[in-house]
Structure 1
């Protein structure tokens, strides 16, 4: 069958063999908004889309050990040693090149040299590029994109150079040469700007996003309640202001103060103004353990794309992604960060609309085995609810943008959940509880795996049974 997997990050990489077993044609759809780690340096100096998730998935697909090691290699954390190793890799003397076929080595070096030339040009107008912890794969992909002028084309060329399976596609959710950032509106009205700042902020920012009174966030807000969810005909009745465009209670995300000190001497790759929060370095961060000091001040209400001023924008999804979704037999909302890996894909209006309109495909959510900073205290129904509401809002705004939906649609809106999610697969021994009764009443089938993690063979068997 034709299988489309939505989600970025490394969590879904381990499940790749299960997806390969099921599919004749396999497509991975990935976000391009992660501004953390070494990617933040590329965005600062060169600009362009965030490609860390794409590089991670490509490396997982490479069968050649030499190429996998090269594109998966990270430079040391020590500044001078990192710069020295980068120079050795570019000039071809690094031990990483030992055993490489000469023609493959020169293809790879050509694009790394192209990246180096771009960094040298940018050195005139910005602070020097920080090479510590830099991913060679990210720098390679950047060089290919700059040379070809297309993100889609750069991914395809990289897959071919690395001799990856031609049945597998890697598709950025937005085909762009520009940077796209996201923000999260919290239920208390606060806004966190930037994907890394939402999911794994640098140490300098953790102290500023602690929970009020050091207490755990609650989910008593109306839009996160699991009570009174079920309506007639297995649908849910929600007010338009909770699902579509910003309401008066959401207006908090448009106002920003000037509390952060700006550095006027340094020029960034972005044209003109850039939101102060996006200037903060995200090079050094930790995947934080859950504790009271590092939780969000309140649960996330919704995620949205922003321009450099922090204002909401509605970009369009990649047309190639839309075509793959239209012909897919199964769409998988895979494991990973719900808010920052999955939502940036499905809040794109044309992508959400295509998923809803493909009534033949199974639409399967794999529930994570543990909480992260973004989803702490949520349950399985909350996961589904957030997906449904986010996609419904995206479809509504997309249709309004096309002027294909009349203004009479204002007021109560009926959402049929199983148009967005048809099946939920969860782990009995995982941290996140799933209320199967509520989901079943809503027309969503549930499948439990008696484990605390997804195992390839078991998952493949369950997914295969869904389509059968």
Structure 2
């Protein structure tokens, strides 16, 4: 079975054995918009896409413990110690190199040295690079990308150097050498700019924006199934842009160069972010209505998804919306117009949503039905934008596009019977979406394998 997993962050890493057990060919499509932590320093000084999620997935696929330790190594949280550690790693004297075969060490050091050279070149035009908390894997992958000039090629070379299974692919949702950021439009009309600012801002940012005593949620009570799949469902899908119209971005590699101007919110350091607890003071001011990509001025853009991702989705037997951040890991993938279109056209594939076991700051108060609703609304909107753009190129009249039923985007929901997030089984089954409960409060590999095997087309 050919499986494509849509995911980001670290949550899905624990489920890798389950995905590997049920697949002949396994592909991960990952977002490239996380601007938090040590990635923020790479973006500030060297530019390029955010690669933290990609590095994390590569590290968890590596079978060689020494390579896994190297690319998973983080420098000290203290400034001077971090710089000294980095220098000793580049020089090849750090203990992390112990036991390495000389040819593998030379390959890895070459790209780390290249990263160091690029950082030194930028020293005159930017504040010094802050090495504290830096991921060696991120710096390695950045060096490979800068040397090869291609994000896709850098991932492939890294997988081969790390001797990962050749049947497994890691694909960035956008193939780019430039930075992409996302924003969140809230139900109250506010806009939060930057993924880190949305999901794990500093406590100072939270205090500045204010908390709320309750997070408004989308309502599904008393909704008829007809209102969700028929012409009247357009009320759920009206697009509200922060600006009049989104800017269009057509080619895989046609992006904005490292900008002279950048949105003020994106200039704030995200190196020392906080994984905030969910309480009254740390909730968003309102529920998230939708996620969208922005240019350096904060205006919406419509980038194209990676053509390699499109090819994998076309030939997949199962597409899995994996656990993790719904808003900032999954949505940045599925709001890409050609990605949404390809998933729609693959009618034989099962499209399986794994519902998280607990809430996060982005989804607090939502239930599993609302997860499905948001996915369907987001992909309907992406299809609408994609078709409208195509029509404008062909000088065709752009009539209204009737929203498609949820079952076009999610065919099955797998949830945890004892997890925090409830699922309205009866409501989803009325829509034609199958539901499967796992008798646990966390996803266990064996139970997930059995469930996914039962879903094979």
Q: TM-score, normalised by structure 2?
A: 0.94
How far did residue 441 of structure 1 move?
A: 0.7
| 1:437 aligned onto 2:437 | no
| 1:87 aligned onto 2:87 | yes
Cα distance change of structure 1 residues 89 and 414 upon mapping to structure 2, 3 Å threshold: closer
- Name which of 386, 392, 399 aligns with 1:398: 386
Mapped to 1, the partners of 2:148 and 2:181 lie a distance apart of 23
Mapped to 2, the partners of 1:405 and 1:68 lie a distance apart of 53
Mapped to 1, the partners of 2:265 and 2:245 lie a distance apart of 13
| 1:446 aligned onto 2:427 | no
2:266 corresponds to: 278
Mapped to 2, the partners of 1:142 and 1:236 lie a distance apart of 47
How far did residue 138 of structure 1 move?
A: 0.1
Cα distance change of structure 1 residues 289 and 405 upon mapping to structure 2, 3 Å threshold: farther
Mapped to 1, the partners of 2:88 and 2:227 lie a distance apart of 65
Which one is further off, 178-187 or 391-400? Answer: 391-400
- Name which of 420, 423, 431 aligns with 2:409: 420
How far did residue 242 of structure 1 move?
A: 4.5
| 1:243 aligned onto 2:243 | no
Mapped to 2, the partners of 1:450 and 1:3 lie a distance apart of 24
How far did residue 309 of structure 1 move?
A: 0.2
Matches within 5 A, 1:20-419: 20-211=20-211, 214-219=212-217, 224-232=218-226, 235-238=229-232, 240=234, 242-243=236-237, 245-246=239-240, 270-403=258-391, 407=397, 409-410=399-400, 413-419=402-408
Is contact 1:334–1:366 with CA below 8 Å preserved after alignment?
Answer: yes
Cα distance change of structure 1 residues 312 and 450 upon mapping to structure 2, 3 Å threshold: same
Mapped to 1, the partners of 2:403 and 2:226 lie a distance apart of 10
Mapped to 1, the partners of 2:170 and 2:360 lie a distance apart of 26
| 1:462 aligned onto 2:451 | yes
Q: Deviations over 1:58-106 (max 9, x none)?
A: 0000000000000000000000000000000001111111110000000
Is contact 2:243–2:300 with CA below 8 Å preserved after alignment?
Answer: no
Q: Secondary structure at the match of 2:96?
A: helix
Spell out structure 1 runs of 4+ moving beyond 6 A: none
How far did residue 209 of structure 1 move?
A: 2.8
Q: Secondary structure at the match of 2:366?
A: coil
Mapped to 2, the partners of 1:440 and 1:210 lie a distance apart of 39
How far did residue 407 of structure 1 move?
A: 4.1
| 1:15 aligned onto 2:15 | yes
Mapped to 2, the partners of 1:285 and 1:236 lie a distance apart of 43
Is contact 2:36–2:195 with CA below 8 Å preserved after alignment?
Answer: yes
Is contact 1:244–1:392 with CA below 8 Å preserved after alignment?
Answer: no
Q: TM-score, normalised by structure 1?
A: 0.92
Q: Secondary structure at the match of 1:9?
A: coil
Mapped to 2, the partners of 1:30 and 1:333 lie a distance apart of 11
Is contact 2:35–2:43 with CA below 8 Å preserved after alignment?
Answer: yes
Q: How many pairs were matched up?
A: 445
How far did residue 270 of structure 1 move?
A: 3.0
How far did residue 246 of structure 1 move?
A: 2.8
RMSD: 1.8
Is contact 1:119–1:129 with CA below 8 Å preserved after alignment?
Answer: yes
Mapped to 2, the partners of 1:371 and 1:233 lie a distance apart of 28
Mapped to 2, the partners of 1:386 and 1:234 lie a distance apart of 12
Structure 2: which 5+ residue stretches go unaligned?
Answer: 247-256
How far did residue 109 of structure 1 move?
A: 0.3
Q: Secondary structure at the match of 1:184?
A: strand
